Amino acid sequence: MLGLDKKDMTTLLVVAALVLLAPFILNPFPANSAMAQFNAGYPDLMQRFVIFGIFAIGFNILFGLTGYLSFGHAAFLGVGSYSAVWMFKLLSMNVIPAILLSVIVAGLFALVIGFISLRRTGIYFSILTLAFAQMSFNLAYSVLTPITNGETGLQLTLEDPRILGQTATESGGIPVTNLFGIEMRGSETLYFGDWSFQFSAGYYLCAIIMLISFYISVRIFRSPFGLMLRAIKSNKTRMNYTGLNTKPYALAAFVISGMYAGLAGGLLASMDPLAGAERMQWTASGEVVLMTILGGAGTLIGPVLGAGFIKYFENIFSKINESVLHSWFSFLPESVENGAVWVAEHFVGGGWSLTLGLLFMLVVTFLPGGLVEGGQRIIKLFRRRKADDGAEQRAAKSHPAE
Amino acid sequence: MGILEVKNVNKRFGGLKALSEVNLSVAENSVHAIIGPNGAGKSTLLNVLVGKLIPDTGSVMFDGQSVLGRTPYEINQMGISRVFQTPEIFGDLTVMENMMIPCFARRDGSFELNALTGVSKQVDIREKAEQMLIDMNMIDKRHMHSASMSRGDKRRLEIGMCLAQEPRLLLLDEPTAGMARADTNNTIDLLKQIKAERDITIAIIEHDMHVVFSLAERITVLAQGTPLVEDVPAKIKGHPKVREAYLGESAAA
Amino acid sequence: MDAIILQFLNGLDKGSAYALIALGLTLIFGTLGVVNFAHGALFMIGSFCAVTLSKLFTLSFETLDPTRKDFLGNPLKIKTPYVEQWFGPDTGAVLIDWAVPLAILFAIPIMIAVGFIMERGLIKHFYKRPHADQILVTFGLAIVLQELVKHYYGANPIQTPAPEVFRGSFDFGTLLGFDPNVIIYPYWRLVYFAFAAVIIGGVFAFLQFTTFGMVVRAGMADRETVGLLGINIDKRFTIMFGLAAAVAGLAGVMYAPINSPNYHMGMDFLVLSFVVVVVGGMGSLPGAVAAGFLLGILESFASMNEIKGLIPGIDQIIIYVVAIVILLTRPRGLMGRRGVMEE
């Protein structure tokens, strides 16, 4: 079906089910219970899950498949966001033209940067992309202020023309982003006993676009082009001596992943119409690298898992503060409790970045294949144990007790 | 006129003269061996032929066209395939995938953006790759991770990948280096079989005299960057200049 | 003319910092073959060594002076730094004033220890892993280090003044026959430049004239061969890492008065230092130093109003533009050697 084999189709269906049912899956705890802080089923956060999922899926095409480590992909995300906001300012609040423009502009931007950066490989490539991203970041803060609005960030105003839409609503406010009239921030809440589930129009738009992006990435993985990209990662020398020009392949991968990043940026702006230069910073580029690696670079589902994992824990960890920690560790004797809180404090709240950095090191050191590899190892272990148990039972049967 | 014509090629690295006035002609459909002691310039010559190095002076013509200034992939598309000393294969891919890549390169040229059709739908490529694996006697290994194969199998796969491109000239760089006697003999047999079944020119750079004298129809002896002699194997064997070159090497070592 | 000399001078101190960081990066590249993204964090830690020492020196206890009242009528609180109590008010005041240069002594053992721990504890396990893994793990480490500093020192820059005697400016112009006050240059920056020159000279002399340095240089040229000679290269590389860490740290200590230390200064400098290394030529020590000064001075010139008027924003991107042009025209950088970090 859809040109996929059975295994890939199953993967796609699982991802689709997870994404479409996310409002239920992510809200397993009743709204007023103590565990409600672990709920993640609200639109704002769910949107970030799938949007960063798109970003990571695209990044995986370049890094996981082709083996080029770009440290500047956040630049494309930023460019996408700026393009989308400009579309909202000039044309209309409909998200379709905004998203299209963000993909196109990011693609063109990636074409230029990729063309230059891909003249070199390996670490030189990483540094070149990092340099380009830092350059874009610096420019966005300084000379390009007329386009980017510098440190304040680009926002909608009541003076924007919006030639196909309205400059201001009848009540005098700034209009909201919509898809042919469906407001992106609009949401319905379903109450079910103590549980409440929110269904947001914006989330479902992002979710559907994410599923399409995922589907396209599966097709790319299974195509001759995808095979060539894997071959480039495996052995560039053999590629060259097999009559294949690696550069256009790598450039195509670079541009495609840049367009994915632009799409993610455009969607971010469509959900919340503002764009700032901090989206282009190297930390943002580092984050997408981590998402991809954490999930499993080069695997289909890895980047999606990685993005969800990081965004979920970012949210949870940021919410935890000292008093929450004290309540958790209250079962301990007081001095131990204080010690435990003191240690844990480093990692929560504002310390999320520290956790992220540590996670980065741990994953790269101990689990280079990411969560997917970790899962496979666990399954293997489980199977082996089962097999061992079986063998023991058989052994026990064949040697009855004397 | 041979299929490969090397004329007056010189190459210096700083003060070192790696190649000086090299002339070489490889006749079409022959097996031509290039031998010589270590440091004779064999590798430099090979790198010139495949476009990795550009000589300071001289010309290299393949089938009437100059290869100089072309990149390795362009030269490969002209019909020269190279087998490396250490097998260069796609270690992360399966044997079958390894074999499909040269088939794509042969069919689609150096670049083709074919991103939305499945590899599994490329029936012609699959059939050709399978046929090549049958020819190479490794069809039972098709699903194997190629990095996990033995060195002999990697060599066999690499040769098969080169042949899948239907090259006019197959360049082999010490194809039996580091191999056990049995593997070496297998490789010799494989090359003999290839030569018997296909219209192909083989140029082989080799250290192992057993391999050279089993295969070559003509031999060029290279020493200190210059061809000493070129002749049929029978005459090379007892040639005084060749002895001198090789004895010189062993004396130095 | 005077403006040009001024910008040249202004470029020197930034160039010195780039050169020092790039020197350490190159040493690590060349000897250990590791791409260290945490090197900027070492620079930052150095700066915070200066901050810490000056904080330690100003640690005070409070006494109440019942004879004097503050404006609310309570007894006046007087803060006395412990150092003034222990060493007497005069020596104490001098110590506080000279906290930054004294921090050099404080920083050397700390930086060497940090370097050793980093190399033995983490980097060592990545020698045989792909460069991408090395980049990623050191990148993670850089985040951890900078977040720890942020946790304990806060997010705001911390002013760390130079000793009183260096706080003024030197009128450089009068020396060259210009009018007074045309080319003035803060003393501390001169000190920094001189300090950087001494360190760079020291590192080169160490590599040139000691047996240890000779082995390291040989290792940079051809690691395998040196390994075959039966020389315990690993131990030397650990020491090399400690040395590189110390160089970066000292560069940071002395830079504290020029740029108030903040937790993200490491990454800011790292990105630029990488560019410096690439421009100078990966694996070339003279290249790293030359490119450091070259880019520092170019950056300084680009921030002249006349030039900014011609090309707006050039000061923000000049280094990157130069790097891109160099990488595309001379892929090995200004003084790069063949075969270093190439694929």
Domain containing C135 — which CATH number? 1.10.3470
User: Is residue C101 included in any domain, yes or no?
Assistant: no
The pLDDT, as a whole number, for residue A307 is: 93
- For residue B80, name the pLDDT band (cuts at 50, 70, 90): very high
How confident is the model over A220-232, as pLDDT tens digits? 999 999 999 999 9
Tell me what pLDDT residue C157 has: 87
pLDDT digits (tens, 9 = 90+) for C309-323: 777 778 778 888 888
B114 and B235, same domain (yes or no): no
- Interval A17-57: pLDDT, tens: 998 888 888 888 887 777 777 787 788 889 999 999 999 99
Q: What is the CA A385 to chain-centroid distance, rounded?
A: 35
pLDDT in tens, C264-308: 888 888 888 888 888 888 778 888 899 999 999 998 888 887 777
Pairing of strands B169-173, B80-83: parallel
Query: How many CA atoms lie less than 13 Å away from A85 in the CB half-sphere?
Result: 23
Please give the pLDDT value at position B247: 59
The Cα-based distances of B246 to A119, B216, B222, C298 in angstroms read 43, 19, 10, 57
Find the residue in B nearest to A218 (Cα): B116
Q: Cβ contact (<8 Å) for A134 and C144? A: no
Q: How many CB atoms are located within 10 Å of the residue A184 CB?
A: 25
Could you tell me the residue range of the domain that residue B94 belongs to? 90-166
With an 8 Å Cβ cutoff, is C331 touching chain A? yes
**In chain C, what residues touch A139 (CB-CB under 8 Å)?**
313, 316-317
Classify strands A274-275 and C169-171 as parallel, antiparallel or unpaired.
unpaired
Report the percent of chain A where pLDDT is more than 70.
96
**pLDDT band (50, 70, 90) for residue C338:** low
Say what the pLDDT of residue A394 is: 57
pLDDT tier at B176 (50, 70, 90 boundaries)?
confident
CA dist., res. B110 & res. B200, Å (int): 22
Residue B190 CA to residue B182 CA, distance in Å, equals 12
Q: Which of A243-257, A266-280, B233-247 is the least confident region?
A: B233-247
Same domain, B98 and B131: yes
Task: Report pLDDT digits (tens) over A233-250.
Answer: 999 999 999 999 999 999
Decide if B81 touches A, using CB distance below 8 A.
Answer: yes
Q: Does position B130 have pLDDT exceeding 90, yes or no?
A: yes
C224 occurs within a structural domain = yes
**Is B15 part of a structural domain of the chain?**
yes
Instruction: Count up the domains in chain C and report the number.
Output: 1
Residues 6 or more apart in contact with residue A374 via CB below 8 angstroms? A367
φ/ψ of A200, rounded to 5, equals -110, 140
CA gap A396, A290 in Å, rounded: 48
Chain A residues whose CB is inside 8 A of the B154 CB are none
Strands B218-223 and B31-35, bridge-based pairing: parallel
A357:C147 CB<8 A: yes
Q: What is the pLDDT of residue C230?
A: 62
pLDDT of amino acid C100: 83
Facing A238 at nearest CB: one of B50, B89, B113: B89
With respect to residue B84, please indicate whether it lies within any of the assigned structural domains. Answer: no
> Are B100 and B67 within one domain?
no
| pLDDT tens digits along C196-253 | 999 999 999 988 888 888 877 777 777 666 666 666 667 777 888 899 999 999 999 9
Is the predicted pLDDT of residue C342 greater than 50, yes or no?
A: no
Q: What is the DSSP letter of B198?
A: S
Whether the CB-CB separation of C256 and C50 falls below 8 Å is answered with yes
Domain boundaries, position C38: 2-59+110-329
| CATH code, domain carrying B232 | 3.40.50.300
Identify the closest residue of chain A to B161 by CA–CA distance: A242
pLDDT above 90 as % of chain C: 14
Size of interface A-C (CB pairs under 8 A): 116
What is the CATH number assigned to the segment(s) A10-319?
1.10.3470
- pLDDT more than 90, % of chain B: 47
Which of A364, A365, A366, A367 is the mutation pick for testing C, counting most C CBs within 10 A?
A364
Is residue B51 included in any domain, yes or no? Answer: yes
In a domain, B64, yes or no: yes
Question: Contacts of residue B73 in chain A, CB cutoff 8 Å?
Answer: 239-246
Per the prediction, chain C carries an average pLDDT of 82
Query: What are the residue ranges spanned by the domains of chain A?
Result: 10-319
User: Is A242's CB within 8 Å of B76's CB?
Assistant: yes
Query: Could B90 and A231 be called an inter-chain contact, meaning their C-beta atoms sit closer than 8 Å?
Result: yes
How many angstroms separate the CA of residue B48 from the nearest CA in chain A?
A: 13
Structural domain count of chain B: 2
Q: What is the pLDDT of residue A67?
A: 92
Q: Is the pLDDT of residue A402 over 50?
A: no
Residue appearing with tokens 């609503």:
A169
Both structure tokens of C253? 């200590």
CB neighbours of B134 closer than 8 A, spacing ≥ 6?
Answer: none
Question: Are C24 and C73 spatial neighbours (Cβ–Cβ below 8 Å)?
Answer: no
* Spatial CB neighbours of C182, under 8 Å, sequence gap ≥ 6: C2, C6, C173
